[in-house]
Amino acid sequence: MNMLKVLDCCSPLAREPLGEDQAAGLARTFKALGDPVRLRIVSIVASHQGGEACVCDLTASFDLAQPTISHHLKVLKDVGLLTSERRASWVYYRVVPERLAELSALLAAPAVVDDGATDGAVDGAAVEVDG
């Protein structure tokens, strides 16, 4: 059971209320993930051989028109969840691990607040990562 200290640098949700601007930025990212097609796109790209997938791989995975896939890819790219690289005629997309890790850390271990006698023992929250 190794513990990960999460709260030292980044600000998980429970640390303090998000500012309006932070919330706005994060909400944009979560909204990008708030579509089944985009979520599957991220998943497909992340799990694809070599950590990247071309648009043709994606259009083949959905029953959607090509412009629709392209639109979703743009949304994911705009919020920094994906990057693209053109090689020959094909464009390859890959996820940005740092962005996902950022979101993961934000949601991690939301203060298992033991209300009451928590005399300052709250800090140093930890995510328990498997054992």
Give 92-119 as a DSSP string: EEEE-HHHHHHHHHHHS-------SS--
* Chain mean position to CA 21: 18
Among DNA, its own copies, none, partner that 8 touches (CB below 5 to 8 angstroms by kind): its own copies
Among its own copies, DNA, none, partner that 90 touches (CB below 5 to 8 angstroms by kind): DNA
Radius of gyration of the chain (CA): 18
With binding defined as CB under 8 A, does residue 60 bind its own copies?
no
Q: Which of 116, 117, 31 is nearest to 78 (CA)?
A: 31
Return the number of the residue (13 or 91) whose C-beta is nearest its own copies: 13
Residues 84-103 that bind its own copies (CB under 8 A): 95, 97-98, 100-101, 103
Return the number of the residue (4 or 64) whose C-beta is nearest DNA: 64
